[in-house]
A and B are shown apart, each in its own frame.
Chain A
């Protein structure tokens, strides 16, 4: 064996250990989703005795999985589509019609990225309550507003690199502005759209604070919020781990599945997002 092979084996071993440590909490979550409270507390590392789905079934019932899941999907999908449409259209115009207004807008969007959510959350909720929008549609609007700045920024950077000639040619052929936007500009921006969708989608799916402030303990909760309230309500008897483990498992499964299928795109999108920040 050459020195190089030895060092590569060492590296492979180190990386494998790191990978195992990284995956450990998820493995741990998985095995404990099939155990009773007593088993979890007594022997947390042991494998479950067989696949007992009753705890998962119980969690599904307790956190109203199906409606919560659908609501979370709805909020995430509608929110992301909303952000994509609004931010791409404004970014396109800001690049194509350079004006003082466009410059001011870019500055405002950029500056708003400095505002942490905590700085405006209380007045925001207050305002939306006054408007009768402290509800799911309001929540989607809020996500739209918060996702806007970064998404505009990403689109703006990308559109600058698209030559205007294609669009001009289409206008000459008699296309209207919506046709140009939808048939020419949007297809060209597909990579950026993927990035915008991924960054916003992940954030909206996992978010806890905004749904907490808007929905609170309302009838229909998002998945993360359901888990939070399941833990709070179980507080009377210590932590009901045989509910929390399966509940958390259910909330992360969709993301893990999506990640397994769309790995490349997601990682690419996240890199693109980071570079522009």
Chain B
């Protein structure tokens, strides 16, 4: 019998374990890979197709991943970014976690080896640059986004029996009017939906009267606003950004502010709750008003998708959303022919009016009028090269971005398929996309607010959303006396999270 010694046995067991680990790590260093991690779920399918085509053409192995909206993007991103095969291109508009001061994952495009990419990056206008100190240039903007109350102008025409010129005047008046006027206007529309008769309302000095009986699209209305109660981001992220704009001038201001600066949020936040209460208690549903309660937050009938459908079916006059919904809305209207095309081509955006007083606003230069005539605009995502991915991956990533922004196929994908406003086309407010045009009009007039909400710490936005969803969206009646306590809670949370983040 052959002798087996203990030492031989140990060696052979270790020998068994080693190849296990070896075969795993060799797969990691794959040179041909271009991995794109996209956090804008709307372009998921198109991007996947585009990148796959690109991969075939250029003979490199590609991978694209986009988490669905409303899912745990952050967590999935954490897992992916810290894995041994991290994405070469990732997207965010926040410096928290991955920015230079934290994990330092973002390649400064000014220092890219790719001269074309460097040139592209240097063309990004100052106000859209992704930077922490002002010198770096950390990504290429996806698009410019803005939001407010989207207006179904076709419905407005039938409501007030207006022709094209007159409705344009009404839109201009609605864009310029103050909060109380706007409230009187929505009250009139609400009264009309319940009891159609001639109701007169004065907007910005002009008198408008509803048609004596419901005609055309006015028959479809079931409420003033379309709401999606299951989607926390619609009433947390985007709504709370308005009061945040009363406290912080922009992203950087909120990012670097002192802990106590956020105390000033209390008064604007309470005012915002009044608006939220009004909007959600005048919500449109499938066959009648959509009332607050457990079904309001149901994950099916309270979803973004469902709300979009309601808006497309003219169930509501206003929809608090942004220009990003254009492609989806277009798809939802695809089989309605002329009516759909008319609606699409005439959409407008109104500012989210707030009952602010000057004493509520702590940002210098902003007045109540600012909030009633400006809309928030921001870059929602940047294409960022991950400097912790392999050199080969980074090279592929740079080549891809150049191709994306310079080739016909790439640009047509971005503008036509995704409906994006490219940073080098900001001066063209006359395209086919009515919402982009509306936004660009605000932008070119300098009437834009910023996105301090993107600088909120940790899961603050989710916390705000949960508070509203749990304690308000499911309740038919809101108690105004609870607003100050709510404001205190979310302010305390902001500080608490800042504290946890610090070290």
A–B in direct contact per CB < 8 Å: yes
A contact residues vs B (CB 8 Å cutoff): 41, 129, 131-138, 140-141, 174-178, 212-213, 216-219, 232-239
What is the bound-complex CA distance between A237 and B300, given in angstroms? 8
Residues of chain B within 8 A (CB-CB) of A137 are 20-21, 23-24
The residues of A that contact B25 with a CB separation of less than 8 Å are: 132-133, 135
In the complex, chain B residues 2-55 whose Cβ is within 8 Å of any chain A Cβ: 3-4, 17, 20-21, 23-25, 27-28, 41, 44
B21-A216 in contact (CB<8A): no
Q: Most chain-A Cβ atoms within 10 A of its Cβ — which of B24, B28, B44?
A: B24
CB of B88, distance to nearest CB on chain A (Å): 15
A101 to chain B, nearest CB (A): 15
Given contact pairs A233-B67, A236-B69, A176 touches B1 in the complex (Cβ within 8 A): yes
Complex Cα distance, B79 from A134, in Å, reads 11
* Residues A239 and B299 in contact, CB atoms below 8 Å apart: yes
- Which residues does chain B contribute within 8 Å of A216, judged by CB atoms? 76, 79-80, 83
Q: Name, among A216, A232, A234, the residue most crowded by chain B CB atoms within 10 Å (CB to CB).
A: A216
Contact A232 B67 (CB under 8 A): yes
Interface contact B20-A235, CB-CB below 8 Å: no
Given contacts A178-B4, A213-B79, A216-B83, contact A236 B70 (CB under 8 A): yes
A219 and B67 contacting across the interface, CB-CB below 8 Å: no
Our count of residue pairs bridging A and B at CB distance below 8 angstroms stands at 83
Residues of B within 8 A of A135 (CB): 24-25, 27-28, 84
**A178: chain B residues within 8 A (beta carbon):** 4
Contacts of B413 in A (CB 8 A): none
Contact of B76 among A133, A217, A219, A238 (CB under 8 A): A217
Contact: B71 with A235, CB < 8 Å? Answer: yes
Which residues of the partner chain B approach A235 to less than 8 Å between Cβ atoms? 67-71
Bound complex: CA of A140 vs CA of B20, how far in Å? 9
Whether A219 contacts B24 by the Cβ 8 Å rule is no
Give CA–CA (A231, B84) in the complex, Å. Answer: 25
* Residue tally, chain B, CB below 8 Å to A: 36
Residues of chain B lying within 8 A (CB to CB) of residue A213: 79
Q: Does B359 interact with chain A (Cβ within 8 Å)?
A: no
The CA-CA distance from A123 to B276 in the complex, in Å, is 44
Q: Sort A-B residue pairs by CB-CB distance and give the 4 closest, nearest first.
A: A235-B68, A216-B79, A135-B24, A132-B25
B300, A239: Cβ atoms under 8 Å? yes
What CA separation (Å) do A138 and B17 show in the bound complex?
Answer: 10
What are 7 A-B pairs with beta-carbon distances under 8 A?
A: A133-B21, A134-B83, A135-B24, A135-B27, A217-B79, A232-B71, A238-B230
Taking A178-B4, A235-B71, A237-B305 as contacts, is the C-beta distance between A218 and B83 under 8 angstroms? yes
Cα distance A134–B83 when bound, in Å? 7
Check: B306 CB closer than 8 A to any chain A CB: yes
Residues of A within 8 A of B300 (CB): 41, 238-239
Select B68's contact among A140, A174, A233, beta carbons within 8 Å.
Answer: A233
By the criterion CB–CB under 8 Å, are B68 and A234 in contact?
A: yes
Query: What CA separation (Å) do A132 and B66 show in the bound complex?
Result: 26
Chain B neighbourhood of A133, CB < 8 A: 21, 24-25
Q: Are A129 and B76 in contact (CB under 8 A)?
A: no
A134 to B82, CA, bound (A): 10
Taking each of B20, B23, B44, B304, which has the highest tally of chain A beta carbons within 10 Å of its own beta carbon? B20
Cβ < 8 Å to A, chain B residues 219-272:
230
Complex Cα gap A137–B84 (Å) = 14
Shortest CB-to-CB span from B313 to chain A, Å, is: 17
A140: chain B residues within 8 A (beta carbon): 20
Query: CB-CB < 8 A to B85: which residues of A?
Result: 218
The residue in chain A whose Cβ has the minimal distance to the Cβ of B24 is A135
Interface residue ranges, B against A (CB under 8 Å):
1, 3-4, 17, 20-21, 23-25, 27-28, 41, 44, 63, 65-72, 76, 79-80, 82-85, 230, 299-300, 303-306
Which residues of chain A come closer than 8 Å to B65, judged between CB atoms? 217
Bound Cα distance A138, B20 (Å): 8
Among residues of B, the one whose C-beta sits closest to the C-beta of A232 is B71
**Measured CA separation A217–B20 after assembly (Å):** 21
- In the complex, which of the residues A136, A174, A218, A232 contacts B1, with contact meaning CB atoms closer than 8 Å? A174
Structural contact, A238 and B303, CB atoms closer than 8 A: yes
Which of A131, A232, A234 contacts B72, CB < 8 Å? A232
Closest residue to B26 on the A side, CB-wise? A132
| Complex Cα spacing A217 to B71, Å | 14
Contact check: which of B4, B21, B71, B306 meets A132 at CB < 8 Å?
A: B21
> A229 CB to closest chain B CB, in angstroms?
8
Kindly list 7 other residue pairs between chains A and B, CB separation below 8 angstroms, not including A133-B24, A135-B27, A237-B305.
A134-B83, A135-B28, A213-B79, A232-B68, A235-B71, A236-B305, A238-B306
Q: Give min CB distance, B52 to chain A, whole Å.
A: 14
B30 to chain A, nearest CB (A): 11
Whole-angstrom distance between the alpha carbons of A177 and B2 in the complex?
Answer: 12
Q: Which residue of A lies closest to B25 (CB)?
A: A132
Greatest chain B CB density within 10 A among A41, A141, A236 is at: A236
A238 to B4, CA, bound (A): 62
**Which residue on chain B has the smallest CB distance to residue A212?**
B79
Contact status B24-A236, CB under 8 Å: no
With a cutoff of 8 Å between Cβ atoms, the chain B residues found around residue A177 in the complex are 4
B4 contacts across to A, CB distance below 8 A:
176-178
Given the contacts A232-B68, A236-B44, A138 and B24 also touching, CB distance less than 8 Å: yes
Q: Are A236 and B41 within 8 A (Cβ)?
A: yes
Q: A216-B79, A238-B299, A238-B300 are in contact. Are A132 and B84 (CB under 8 A)?
A: yes
Q: How far is the CA of A175 from the CA of B2 in the complex (A)?
A: 10
Chain A residues whose C-beta falls within 8 Å of the C-beta of B63 in the assembled complex:
219
Q: How far is the CB of B40 from chain A (nearest CB, A)?
A: 11
A239 to B304, CA, bound (A): 12
Q: In whole angstroms, what is the CA distance A47 to B453 when docked?
A: 48
> Please, which residues of chain A bring their CB within 8 A of the CB of B305?
236-238
Interchain CA distance A171-B24 in the complex, whole Å: 40
Chain B's closest residue to A132 (CB) is B25
Q: How far is the CA of A114 from the CA of B1 in the complex (A)?
A: 44
Q: A174 vs B2: C-alpha distance in the bound complex, in angstroms?
A: 11
Contacting pair B21 A129 (CB below 8 A): no
> For B66, what are the chain A residues with a Cβ–Cβ distance below 8 Å?
233
In the complex, which of the residues B65, B68, B230 has the most CB atoms of chain A within 10 Å of its own CB atom?
A: B68
State A132–B230 Cα separation when bound (angstroms): 41
**Residues in B whose Cβ lies below 8 Å from that of A136:** 24
- Roughly how many angstroms separate A217 CA and B82 CA in the complex, as a whole number? 12
CA distance A235 to B82 in the complex (A): 24
**Chain A neighbourhood of B27, CB < 8 A:** 135
Residue of B nearest to A175 (CB): B1
The minimal Cβ–Cβ distance linking A243 to chain B, given in whole angstroms, is 12
